[in-house]
Amino acid sequence: MILSQSSCHIGGGDDEITFTSFGENNIYTGTVVDGEGIPIADRTIIISSSQLDIAEIVTDSNGFYEVNGDIYNRHITFSLVNDFDDFYVDSEYTLSYTYDPSNQTINVPPLISIPFSVFRIDVVNNNDLDFTVSCDYVIGLCNKYFEDDVEIHSICYETDNITRNINSSRDGTVLIFRAVTGTSVNINISNSESSITETFIVNESSQEETIILN
């Protein structure tokens, strides 16, 4: 049974798009925390549903936020904007429903924020052999998907890998856009003759390291 349903229109004429609200007048509450579970103040969250930005809100001194909003097409997304560069999102949770929640208080699981680095590795002094660079690192991103408030899928600050094949005619660069600060980046470089391994600790928001091939 549909509890409530309304429409939102964007554009006009042939370009008009209609979004139907399945669930109205809900209150969404939650917190933003660091990797230790400590609340973080003054963090911006963008709340959207079916391509519509519903609200933009900033956490209070206790890392808490509360906002009213409707749900369109039975899902709503909470995106935690990176504190230093709003191009990035630290965490993004999508709540999906098989029913039409209205006039409810919905508690969103804590959005997690751990600092990360744009990490660059330059491999120089290539000896005219094709080589492969493989990097294991912890990715600075937490994406979760919930259905009827039950977590269905999660990729949250997990180990990831980037592998690049570099042509023999040039040196190589590998960029890791989300290496978690305080973790290590393990690098293996191999060609048809040998391989080397290097480990770097991520300790800067923008970090560059150079590996010189013999």
Domain shared by 126 and 104, yes or no = no
- Of the ranges 19-23, 107-111, 131-135, which one carries the lowest mean pLDDT score? 19-23
Higher pLDDT, 105 or 214: 105
Q: Please provide the average confidence, as pLDDT, over all residues in the chain.
A: 86
CATH number (domain holding residue 183): 2.60.40
Domain residue limits at 92? 5-112
- Of the ranges 19-23, 41-45, 87-91, 193-197, which one carries the lowest mean pLDDT score? 19-23
Q: What is the pLDDT of residue 8?
A: 41
Going by pLDDT thresholds of 50, 70 and 90, the confidence category of residue 129 is confident
The tokens describing 28, both together, are: 């969404």
Phi, psi of 198 (to 5 degrees): -135, 150
> pLDDT tens digit string along 27-54?
999 999 999 999 999 999 999 887 778 8
Q: What is the pLDDT of residue 11?
A: 45
The neighbour count for residue 8, using CB atoms within 10 Å, is 14
The tokens describing 78, both together, are: 């909470």
Distance CA 41, CA 43 (A): 6
Counting every residue, how long is the chain?
214
Q: What is the pLDDT of residue 87?
A: 83
CATH number (domain holding residue 98): 2.60.40.10
Domain shared by 70 and 122, yes or no = no
CB 19 within 8 A of CB 7: yes
Looking at the structure of the chain, the number of domains it has is 2
Q: Is the pLDDT of residue 61 over 50?
A: yes
Q: How far is CA 123 from its chain centroid?
A: 28
Distance CA 112, CA 172 (A): 33
- Cβ neighbours for 214, distance < 8 A, ≥ 6 positions apart: 125, 127
Q: Is the pLDDT of residue 122 over 90?
A: yes
- The predicted model gives 207-214 an average pLDDT of 90
Model confidence, pTM: 0.80
Higher pLDDT, 212 or 86: 212
Domain shared by 94 and 123, yes or no = no
CB 31 within 8 A of CB 80: no
Q: What is the pLDDT of residue 160?
A: 96
> pLDDT tens digit string along 73-98?
788 899 999 988 788 899 999 999 98
Domain shared by 88 and 186, yes or no = no
Distance CA 143, CA 79 (A): 9
- The predicted model gives 67-71 an average pLDDT of 80
Distance CA 62, CA 41 (A): 6
Q: What is the pLDDT of residue 23?
A: 61
Domain shared by 93 and 154, yes or no = no
Domain shared by 106 and 50, yes or no = yes
Share of the chain above pLDDT 70, in %: 88
Q: What is the pLDDT of residue 46?
A: 94
Q: Is the pLDDT of residue 191 over 90?
A: no
Domain shared by 55 and 93, yes or no = yes
